[in-house]
Amino acid sequence: MKLASRPSTAVHPEATADPATLRWVVSGVPLPFAGLLVSAPGLDEFLDYIHVEVTVGAVVATAPDSAWGHIGTRFRTALTTALEHTDTWVGAPDCQYLDEVETLRRCANELIGGPVGAVAAMHGGLIELVDVSVNGDQRIVDVTMRGACRGCPAAIITLHQRLERQLSLRLCEPVTVREV
């Protein structure tokens, strides 16, 4: 008998402008809401002294002083464990439970404003989000390429191998990116 396998969870930290804050990028697990994390089995021991915000595709954590050097490995392990039980996470009263369209929009904006957009910018280009839509099991992101990316053959690689792939990984669903 073959057991159904769930997508593998990938977690890696990214530095931010503030050395006390790490952005833990999560792939393979949809996050349940956007906002302040109040409780999550596995992470509760850290929540007394680390401020943790859940976003689409990432957990942003701010630790006091230079604590990451001492607790980074333990936090990563705890976060990986907590990601196995996102249905038990508790957010602050004002957290937002996002619908599929808003989740897709936020994730696309995050990637375009972050690592995928940075690749385009390094080559003198720009990616602009035009629209997102969800129709049944189809998730579509429409973008416009500007600057050096407009008409560049490598733009297809950026759109499909970077943006489309990262969106699909973060949302655990196939996403189609189209240039319009």
Please write the tens of the pLDDT for every residue from 41-69: 999 999 999 999 998 878 999 998 778 99
Q: Which amino acid is at 174?
A: P
Q: Please give the Cα distance from 158 to 145 (Å, whole number).
A: 10
Q: Please give the Cα distance from 66 to 125 (Å, whole number).
A: 36
Q: What are phi and psi of 88, to 5 degrees?
A: -100, 0
Tallying the residues shown for the chain, one arrives at 180
All domains in the chain, ordered by first residue? 10-91 (3.30.1370.70), 100-179 (3.30.300.130)
- What's the burial of 153, exposed, middle or buried (CB within 10 Å: 0-12/13-18/19+)? exposed
pLDDT at position 1, please?
42
pTM for the model stands at: 0.70
pLDDT at position 8, please?
64
According to DSSP, residue 173 is labeled S
Q: Please give the Cα distance from 37 to 40 (Å, whole number).
A: 7
